[in-house]
A and B are shown apart, each in its own frame.
Chain A
Amino acid sequence: MVFFFIFAVIAVVSAVGVVTLRNPVHSVLSLMVCFLQMAALFVLLRSPFLAAVQVFVYVGAVMVLFLFVIMMLDIRRASMKRFVSGGHSWVIALLVILIAEMVLILSRSRFAEMAVSTTSRLDGSVKEMGTVLFSKYLLPFEIISMILLVALLGAIVLGKKELR
């Protein structure tokens, strides 16, 4: 309970930091903190494999990629310019509508009294996850590997100096 509050508060504060900080490098570091808190929440939810994947893939790979690109680009000119585009009141109205919608839905839902189901079948091990992933969900797994391969090739082609 206490740990949930600690992780949730740090995650929300760093997520606000991602949106409000002016320098993109600070945003990336703040997003890293947020993702680490989410990995800790996954551990609290008895899924340590997913926490490890989160740390490796997001904090290790994706955020380092972001940092690399930010260092490569010249951000000083662009980032310090316009912070929030003014005069877009419809955006604020859209956000208010979204927040009101979520509050309405959450206040009318019955999730508050929901507890952990008594028939505990999961032990949170990698073994049962791998068994399900490679038997029942084999086709989506292969599709996702093809998507990753195509994304890799696309990134290489886009990043080349000149396209022929």
Chain B
Amino acid sequence: MVPLSWYIILSSVLFIIGTAGVLLRRNILIVLMSVELILNSVNINFVAFSYYHQDLRGQIFSIFIIAVAAAEVAVALGILIALVRNKSALNVDEIRTMKG
């Protein structure tokens, strides 16, 4: 039987990898993929707690997270296409339209 802490450790390792991707990479596509990785590491935690508590709420929340992530990806890729078409900038450093 796998203890619950192993799932939490796996989830935090994936979370840290995703955070490193968001902070270190400059390619905006890889930043988006790292955000997906972070959301999925949280999903693992939710489902593991749902199983270990025998409670369905964790799985329901995971479904909501997956739906919100899908919506986020659709909008983000639309913005990305518009941005590349107008400015041809794919690096985070070059995008400074909304910079204060």
Contacts and interface: CB of A to CB of B under 8 A. Distances in A.
A-B pairs with lowest CB-CB distance, top 8:
A158-B78, A151-B71, A78-B90, A155-B78, A19-B21, A45-B51, A155-B74, A111-B5
Interface size grouping (class) on chain A:
35 or more
A91 B25 CA distance: 11
Contact of B54 (A62, A75, A85, A120): A120
A24 to B, nearest CB: 5
A107 B60 CA distance: 29
Contacts of B26: 82, 84-85
14 contacts: A15-B17, A15-B37, A19-B34, A65-B74, A69-B29, A70-B29, A83-B25, A99-B16, A112-B3, A133-B63, A140-B64, A155-B75, A156-B78, A158-B79
Contacts of B75: 151, 154-155, 158
A1 to B, nearest CB: 6
Given A11-B14, A15-B18, A98-B16, A85 B24 contact: yes
B23 A94 contact: yes
Contacts, number: 213
Interface size grouping (class) on chain B:
35 or more
Interface string B64-80: 10111111111101111
Contact of A31 (B23, B33, B44, B81): B33
Interface in B28-86: 29-30, 32-34, 36-37, 40, 43-44, 47-48, 50-56, 59-60, 62-64, 66-75, 77-82, 84
A87 interface: no
Contacts of A128: 56
B2 interface: yes
B25 to A, nearest CB: 7
A84 B23 CA distance: 10
Contact of B47 (A11, A12, A42, A147): A42
